[in-house]
Structure 1
Amino acid sequence: MDRFIDKVELVAGLLLGAIALLTFSAVMARWLFNYGIPDAFDVSRLLLGTAMFWGIASAGFRNRHIQVDGFWEISPPLGRRLIDLFATAITFGFFALLAWMLYGKVVSVLASSEQTFDLRLPVWPFYALAALGILLAAVLLGLRLFRLVIARGR
């Protein structure tokens, strides 16, 4: 399982790297040659959403997202377990619903033939990749919830 999560993190990292490279290249092209890279803004904007969704998948599974755990820290072990179960269940439900809604958005964008402004690149593959990231987040959170439920004594 860890190798699969590592691959999800690699995809998120590569997407962030592509955003950084594209942004740097666009700035340097504008500064050095007074030339803007076509669709640099649109592509980086679409990649940013996708990278966030893929990053959320691994952060949710490994429970390494931003947390305010003051109440959790002072709770007894049973209270901590209940808080973890409740929080993971709510997050799982939210991401499952978001994955379903984003699937609808992918279908809608595909049907509308939406394209970027300069190069006329189809936008739906970016939406589909983002939807896959959220679907992975929901699946991995479901797996985390399952592990929390079966780990009664631990």
Structure 2
Amino acid sequence: MTTAVYHPLFLRVQRLVEGMAGMLAILSGVLLIIAILLTTVSIIGRMMTSIGLSAVPGDYELVQIFCGLAVFSFMPYCQLKRGHVSVDLFIAPFGVKAKVWTQLLGDMVVTGLFCLLAWRHFEGTIDKFDYQETTFILQIPVWWAFAGAMVLFCPIVVTGLFTLWRDIVDIIRGGQADAEEEDYS
């Protein structure tokens, strides 16, 4: 753990963002477990048609929804823990300051993409609502899943903005936090 002293507001926001990201990561795991169980039950049902069992109706539709929401749920945790792909091989020889500047640049790009995707996803949600498109088998309105994902974009963008703040604090501190603690796990 970093021994450096941070502003109380920063620490408060960090705790909130970490708590939110952690809860959403747990939700992501639960959604994936539900998708796995649903798939397993459906496969077993298909194998046992001779005794009157069958696949779960709409299993593909439900698994798509659960897996999509799981990805959006896990994204804040991934961003917070620097889980996105990065190439430190070329930056390492230039020292800690170069690393924190490239992290800032990377987080700016990722946060910008999050904002762009959130905006376009919002537009897509409105379109799905306007056209009242439904899934083929279960007739679930597609906009429900889009709206759920749209809600999850809010913590994704908030986490992206927090990581930018964290990077700026690291730069102001001369990369001290990064030197003391290699990652934010």
TM-score, normalisation: structure 1? 0.91
Q: 1:28 aligns with which of 39, 44, 51?
A: 44
RMSD: 1.5
Identical amino acids, percent of aligned pairs: 22
Q: Give the gaps of 5 or more residues in structure 2.
A: 1-15, 177-185
The alpha-carbon deviation at position 142 of structure 1 amounts to 0.6
Task: Please say if 1:121 is aligned against 2:166.
Answer: no
**Matching residue's letter, 2:32:** L
Determine the structure 2 residue equivalent to 1:41. Answer: 60
TM-score, normalisation: structure 2? 0.77
Q: Which has the higher helix share?
A: 1
CA distance in 2, matches of 1:44, 1:72: 40
2:41–2:55 contact (8 Å) kept in structure 1: no
1:114–1:124 contact (8 Å) kept in structure 2: yes
The one-character-per-residue Cα deviations of 1:85-122 (angstroms, maximum 9, x if unpaired) are 10000000001110111011111111111111122111
CA distance in 2, matches of 1:69, 1:23: 38
Q: Which runs of 4+ in 1 moved over 6 A?
A: none
CA distance in 2, matches of 1:23, 1:133: 24
Q: Give the gaps of 5 or more residues in structure 1.
A: none
CA distance in 2, matches of 1:46, 1:72: 39
CA distance in 2, matches of 1:67, 1:128: 31
- Secondary structure at the residue paired with 2:23? helix
Task: Please say if 1:90 is aligned against 2:109.
Answer: yes
1:51–1:130 contact (8 Å) kept in structure 2: no
The alpha-carbon deviation at position 131 of structure 1 amounts to 2.0
